[in-house]
Chain A
Amino acid sequence: MALESLRNEFQEQLENLRSDLIRLGAMVSETIGRGTAALLDRDLHAAQVLIDGDDVIDDFCLGLEERCCQLLALQAPIAGDLRFVLTTLRLISELERSADLMVNVCKASRRIYDVEFGPQLRGLIEQMGVEAGFLIRAAIDSYVDADTSLAAALDDIDDRLDELQVNYVQAIFTRHSDEHLGLQGAVQLAMIGRYYERIGDHAVNIGERVMYMVTGWLPEHSGSARHRLRGLGAEDDAGPDPAGGPAGGSANDGGV
């Protein structure tokens, strides 16, 4: 009887963890929308509010992380539950980093206060904001529903954002060569594009972690298996290890 109630309490803690991660996702996706609007509207006040608001997100993330660690230490979860807690732990940092990227956008918007973007760049920035927000929401959906197909699709969905970013950089070059845009403004704008593109990458990372949560397999496992095969020679028949623990090495980080 006592054991059962302990177990129920544990399940409830997992459930709370899940709903708080959804909340974190909603906070980040709000930040993306608001940050993009602050950038396009030249709203310095809104930008400052977001920069300050990042402390709230960081605080929330710390609290969540703490709870994950407590769960790991006190409840010693196994199998699916363990992967769930580990995945949540990873997702917290992916989301926290995404919010930081929007802070970077806000800070950049202060530096290019007097730069005229022109309609084409404005349109592209807006679309990148929409895509980035969509990717984060889809990533959270895949986590909540443990939906591996959506999680796997995130990489392909991210291609749209990547393509937008390529067009965006091209548009910056054009506007710069037309002498509508100075070098400093151009560099700041290009970095802003990069921030959005990185948010998309974080969403893809979340998708990979969700696949790990459900199946125990990470895309990196293929590469790691190849590496081991090369190291040990062809006679060792080591395939991808489905029972593998939390593999090191961050997924898709530092891509171009």
Chain B
Amino acid sequence: MLAARVLGVLGVLFVLSIIVFAMMYLAPGDIVKNLLGNRPANPDVVAAVREQYRLDDPVVVQYLTWLKGFVTGDFGESIRLQVPVAQAIGDRIAITAALCGLAFLVSVLVAVPLGVRSAVKAGGWVDRTGNALSILGLSAPTFAVGLVLLYLFAYYVPILPVYGGGDGGLDTLRHLVLPAITLALGLGAIIVKLTRTAMLRELESDYVTFARSRGLGERMVRRIALRNAAIPIVTGASLVLTFLVGGTVLAETTYALPGIGTLLQDSVLFKDIAVVQSLTLLVAVVIAVIALLADLAYLLLDPRVRRQMGAAS
């Protein structure tokens, strides 16, 4: 079953790679001109580009060459930056990964306890406040939240940096706080809702009644219920992780962070096709891996599924 799942993911990635490759031809304008960027178009350079991208070969060969490059880590050359794409991405991926990781951590650490608390005291003030906050978090667009926080912290309470990525280490971490909160708000809102719903259902179940009737303390009962609720929460949360991928473009742009998001935005505006292709496919791979990990988490969390998988393989 897991093997089938991996094969399915590979199939999806294969189809995506064809679409991404086709972008080169689908982009408006002459393909050589697009690949040249703002370099002067003399015959020598044109010939070099045609040679480099094998434009004279059949499309299938071009695709296979390109795919081989992608798989082996050779993503081509960025027209705008005049460096290999791998290097351009490598320089920026750390800050984006840190941003996404921090945002995920913040949202889980705040949202799960808030969701549990909301479910345990359903209708109480924590529940109502949490509900209002999560509606706000769900409905406010990331860029709007970003701008509000930016305005607030740049002007009224200038305690956190609002521009750039800092000088590494703790300074970078400080620079990441606001963008991470911006991203975490939307993500956290979904996790609060997921946790609350799952916990409410678990707290209604027979095993909770049975546990209470045996004299188990309320904290223990909540732990047991949360362990059961973890199955829907983890699968749900890992799926909304993909939300971060889109959100990071907006957050990085708002706070001028030199990450993958700004690289993607600049490359799209500049028609830097090699970078856009690589980033698009990279994002697809990341999302596919997250979805696979979600399945694995399911396997770890639910002993019933574990046995079925064991029997099927």
A and B associate in one complex: no
